[in-house]
Structure 1
Amino acid sequence: MKKIVECVPNFSEGRNRETIDAIAEAIRRTSGCTLLDVDPGASTNRTVYTFVGDPDSILEGALAAARVARARIDMRTHKGEHPRFGAMDVCPFIPVRGVSMADCVDIARTFAQRAAEALKVPFFLYEEAALQDYRRKLPDIRHGEYEGLAERLKDPRWQPDFGPAEFVPQWGATATGARMFLIAYNVNILGTANQAHRIALNLRETGRGNDQPGRLKEVKGMGWFVDEYNLAQVTVNLTNYRVTPIHRLFEEVGKEAAELKVGVAGSEIVGLVPLESILMAADYYIEKENLFIYEEDQKIRLAVERLGLNSVAPFEPDKKIIEYIVAEPPDEPLADLSLRGFIEEVAARSSTPGGGSVSAVLAALGAGLGAMVAKLTYGVRKFESVDAQMRAAIPPLHETTRSLIAMIDADTNAFNDYMEGVRMPSGTPAEKAARTERMQQGLKTAVNVPLQTMTIADSAWEALCDTARHGNPASRSDIQVGARALETGIWGAYQNVVINLEGITDDAFKAETLKLADAIADRARKKMQEVLDILETKRTS
Structure 2
Amino acid sequence: MRKIVECVPNFSEGNNRETIEAIAQAIKETPGCTLLDVDPGKSTNRTVYTFVGDPDAVVQGALNSARVAREKIDMRVHKGEHPRMGAMDVCPFIPVANVTMDECVAISKTFGRLAAEALGVPFFLYEAAAVEDYRRKLPHVRKGEYEGLAERLKEPEWKPDFGPAEFIPQWGATATGARSFLIAYNVNILGTSNQAHRIALNLREAGRGPDKPGRLKEVKGMGWFVDEYNLAQVTVNLNDYKVTPIHVLFEEVKREAAALNVGVAGSEIVGLVPLASILMAADFYMEKENLFILDEDQKVRLAVERLGLNSVAPFDPREKIIEYRVAGERNEPLADMSLRAFIEEVASRSSAPGGGSVSAAIAAMGAGLGAMVGKLTYGVRKFESVDAQMRKNIPPLHDASARLIPMIDADTTAFNDFMEALRMPRGTDAERTVRAERMQAGLKKAIDIPLTTMKLGDGAWDAFCEVARYGNPASRSDVEVGARALETGIWGAYKNVMINMADITDNAFKTRITQEAEAIVNRAARKCAEVLEILEAR
Give the TM-score range, shorter chain.
0.7 to 0.9
CA positional deviation for 1:233? 1.3
What does residue 291 of structure 2 align with? 291
456-465 or 265-274, which deviates more: 456-465
Looking at structure 1, the residues matched to 131 and 358 of structure 2 have their Cα atoms a distance apart, in angstroms, of 55
Over the aligned positions, Cα root-mean-square deviation in angstroms equals: 4.8
Residue identity matched to 1:208: R
CA positional deviation for 1:239? 1.8
Call closer, same or farther: CA 1:357–1:465 in 2, change over 3 Å: same
What does residue 83 of structure 1 align with? 82
- Please say if 1:519 is aligned against 2:535: no
CA positional deviation for 1:303? 2.2
CA positional deviation for 1:60? 0.2
What does residue 322 of structure 2 align with? 322
Looking at structure 1, the residues matched to 504 and 23 of structure 2 have their Cα atoms a distance apart, in angstroms, of 54
Call closer, same or farther: CA 1:222–1:12 in 2, change over 3 Å: farther
What does residue 383 of structure 1 align with? 383
Looking at structure 2, the residues matched to 23 and 478 of structure 1 have their Cα atoms a distance apart, in angstroms, of 57
SS at match of 2:73: helix
List per-residue Cα deviations over 1:178-208 (Å, max 9, x = no partner).
Answer: 4222221111111222222222222222223
Identity of aligned residues (%): 63
Looking at structure 2, the residues matched to 369 and 191 of structure 1 have their Cα atoms a distance apart, in angstroms, of 53
What does residue 95 of structure 1 align with? 94
SS at match of 2:478: helix
Residue identity matched to 2:315: F
TM-score normalised per structure 1: 0.78
SS at match of 1:37: strand
Cα contact 1:5–1:58 (8 A) shared by 2? no
What does residue 214 of structure 2 align with? 214
What does residue 231 of structure 2 align with? 231
Looking at structure 1, the residues matched to 446 and 107 of structure 2 have their Cα atoms a distance apart, in angstroms, of 34
Cα contact 1:367–1:457 (8 A) shared by 2? yes
What does residue 529 of structure 1 align with? 532
- Please say if 1:49 is aligned against 2:52: no
SS at match of 1:206: coil
CA positional deviation for 1:37? 0.5
Call closer, same or farther: CA 1:229–1:86 in 2, change over 3 Å: farther
Spell out the pairing of 1:192-341 with structure 2 (5 A cutoff).
Answer: 192-327=192-327, 331-341=331-341
What does residue 394 of structure 1 align with? 394
Spell out the pairing of 1:357-376 with structure 2 (5 A cutoff).
Answer: 357-376=357-376
Spell out the pairing of 1:444-455 with structure 2 (5 A cutoff).
Answer: 453=453
Call closer, same or farther: CA 1:362–1:52 in 2, change over 3 Å: closer
175-184 or 391-400, which deviates more: 175-184
List per-residue Cα deviations over 1:129-185 (Å, max 9, x = no partner).
Answer: 556655644456667878xx46995898899655787795x8777655442222211
Residue identity matched to 1:527: E
Looking at structure 2, the residues matched to 3 and 482 of structure 1 have their Cα atoms a distance apart, in angstroms, of 30
Residue identity matched to 1:18: E
Call closer, same or farther: CA 1:436–1:528 in 2, change over 3 Å: farther
What does residue 343 of structure 2 align with? 343
Looking at structure 2, the residues matched to 20 and 432 of structure 1 have their Cα atoms a distance apart, in angstroms, of 42
CA positional deviation for 1:514? 9.2
What does residue 405 of structure 1 align with? 405
Residue identity matched to 2:382: K
Call closer, same or farther: CA 1:475–1:181 in 2, change over 3 Å: same
350-359 or 292-301, which deviates more: 350-359
Looking at structure 2, the residues matched to 45 and 297 of structure 1 have their Cα atoms a distance apart, in angstroms, of 41
CA positional deviation for 1:368? 1.4
Looking at structure 2, the residues matched to 60 and 301 of structure 1 have their Cα atoms a distance apart, in angstroms, of 38
Residue identity matched to 1:464: F
Cα contact 2:366–2:485 (8 A) shared by 1? yes
Looking at structure 1, the residues matched to 76 and 12 of structure 2 have their Cα atoms a distance apart, in angstroms, of 8
List per-residue Cα deviations over 1:385-428 (Å, max 9, x = no partner).
Answer: 1111101220221123223323434555567789889999999x
Looking at structure 1, the residues matched to 460 and 400 of structure 2 have their Cα atoms a distance apart, in angstroms, of 6
Q: Which runs of 5+ in 2 are unaligned?
A: none
CA positional deviation for 1:524? 5.7
What does residue 460 of structure 2 align with? 460
SS at match of 2:319: helix
Call closer, same or farther: CA 1:297–1:116 in 2, change over 3 Å: same
385-394 or 10-19, which deviates more: 10-19
Residue identity matched to 1:196: A
Cα contact 1:123–1:161 (8 A) shared by 2? no
Residue identity matched to 1:401: S
Cα contact 2:411–2:449 (8 A) shared by 1? yes
Looking at structure 2, the residues matched to 433 and 164 of structure 1 have their Cα atoms a distance apart, in angstroms, of 31
Looking at structure 2, the residues matched to 181 and 240 of structure 1 have their Cα atoms a distance apart, in angstroms, of 6
387-396 or 286-295, which deviates more: 286-295
Residue identity matched to 1:225: F
Call closer, same or farther: CA 1:482–1:151 in 2, change over 3 Å: closer
Cα contact 2:468–2:531 (8 A) shared by 1? no
Looking at structure 1, the residues matched to 206 and 398 of structure 2 have their Cα atoms a distance apart, in angstroms, of 45
386-395 or 413-422, which deviates more: 413-422
Looking at structure 1, the residues matched to 501 and 361 of structure 2 have their Cα atoms a distance apart, in angstroms, of 25
SS at match of 1:94: strand
Looking at structure 1, the residues matched to 283 and 155 of structure 2 have their Cα atoms a distance apart, in angstroms, of 46
Residue identity matched to 2:376: L
Looking at structure 2, the residues matched to 91 and 286 of structure 1 have their Cα atoms a distance apart, in angstroms, of 40
Call closer, same or farther: CA 1:504–1:325 in 2, change over 3 Å: same
Call closer, same or farther: CA 1:205–1:295 in 2, change over 3 Å: same
CA positional deviation for 1:38? 0.9
Cα contact 2:469–2:535 (8 A) shared by 1? no
Cα contact 1:13–1:45 (8 A) shared by 2? yes
SS at match of 1:303: helix
Call closer, same or farther: CA 1:20–1:438 in 2, change over 3 Å: closer
CA positional deviation for 1:227? 2.0
SS at match of 1:293: coil
CA positional deviation for 1:533? 0.9
Looking at structure 2, the residues matched to 420 and 22 of structure 1 have their Cα atoms a distance apart, in angstroms, of 32
Call closer, same or farther: CA 1:346–1:199 in 2, change over 3 Å: same
Cα contact 2:202–2:214 (8 A) shared by 1? yes
Q: Which runs of 5+ in 1 are unaligned?
A: none
List per-residue Cα deviations over 1:223-249 (Å, max 9, x = no partner).
Answer: 222222222111111222222222222
Call closer, same or farther: CA 1:445–1:115 in 2, change over 3 Å: closer
- Structure number with larger C-alpha Rg: 1
List per-residue Cα deviations over 1:259-309 (Å, max 9, x = no partner).
Answer: 222211111221222233223323333333333334433333322222222
Looking at structure 2, the residues matched to 301 and 327 of structure 1 have their Cα atoms a distance apart, in angstroms, of 19
Looking at structure 1, the residues matched to 78 and 492 of structure 2 have their Cα atoms a distance apart, in angstroms, of 68
Looking at structure 2, the residues matched to 440 and 134 of structure 1 have their Cα atoms a distance apart, in angstroms, of 38
TM-score normalised per structure 2: 0.78
320-329 or 363-372, which deviates more: 320-329
CA positional deviation for 1:351? 5.1
